[in-house]
Amino acid sequence: MTFVKGHTLKPQLDRPVTVFDLETTGIDPFQDRIVTVGVVRLEPDFSISFAREWRVNPGVPIPAAAANVHGIRDEDVRDAPPLAAIADDLLAPFTDAVPAGFNVLHYDLPLIVRDFERHGIRSHLRDDSPAIDVMQLFHRHRAAGNQPRRLEDAVRLYLNRRHEDAHGALADARATAELLPALIERHDLPTDTAALCDLCISRFVDPYDDDGRLVRRGDDLVLTFGKHRGRSLRELAGEDPGYLRWMLTKDFSDTILDAVRDALEASR
């Protein structure tokens, strides 16, 4: 059994945590596709019980801009399996575990859910699955001005080393797994996974309605649930107004419904 490097915590998590990282065909979590997946499962005592990386044939060309970031080109995945062929092995380490990652709430989680749906893969993962976003925990304490905000910065500041092989899926997942206990220890964060998930949401939440379904982010109102979690009403009014019209047929509060109507009206 391998333990997270530098782990000195005596308290244990109440549940396993499965950290994952994706390298993909682009930056749109609703349209782009997986090229590599790195998965690291942490048991409650912060031991690593599983670590693996898969290359995936995305079924579409990898744009040069994406390849220049992660170094994976079409010829590198030409003979790799499609996502559906590795789905069972990929999902196994998520059993009974809380998903986690670095920017997982806004990128990795919605992207993997979309790609699973695209391939007809049944999964318990959802857009609104509780998840520990280590980036949000990091940003809680590094939010002022131009302070460092990337994974490489977090590794340097909390683990006192350079992050080698940045944008390698398994390397990024391992680094994120190491950061979690380091952040918990330094900032006296809870080891209850539900509380950690709540902290990740509350980091960027300025609730607009009583239920926290909408939050303020600058001048925008942003959804905290569903397939468009993390996207603003203004953005959706331009790109997917049908979703907002669907919301108007549901049992949301008057505060939310009025905000949705205002967004649709402003986009005309």
The predicted model scores a pTM of: 0.75
Residue of 12, 32, 34 lying closest to 23 (CA atoms):
34
Predicted local confidence at residue 132, as pLDDT? 96
Residuewise pLDDT in 10s, the chain (268 residues) = 455 665 555 568 999 999 999 999 998 888 899 999 999 999 999 999 999 999 999 999 999 999 999 999 999 999 999 999 999 999 999 999 999 999 998 889 999 999 999 999 999 998 888 999 999 889 877 644 456 678 999 999 999 999 987 889 999 999 999 999 999 999 888 899 998 998 887 655 567 877 677 878 778 888 877 777 778 899 999 999 999 999 999 888 899 999 999 999 998 8
What is the number of other CB atoms lying within 10 angstroms of the CB of residue 96?
A: 8
d(CA 159, CA 217): 30
Does residue 20 contact residue 109 with C-beta atoms inside 8 Å?
no
Predicted local confidence at residue 147, as pLDDT? 61
Predicted local confidence at residue 6, as pLDDT? 54
List, in order of start, the domains of the chain with CATH numbers: 2-202 (3.30.420.10), 214-266 (no CATH)
The enclosing H or E element of 40 equals strand 34-42
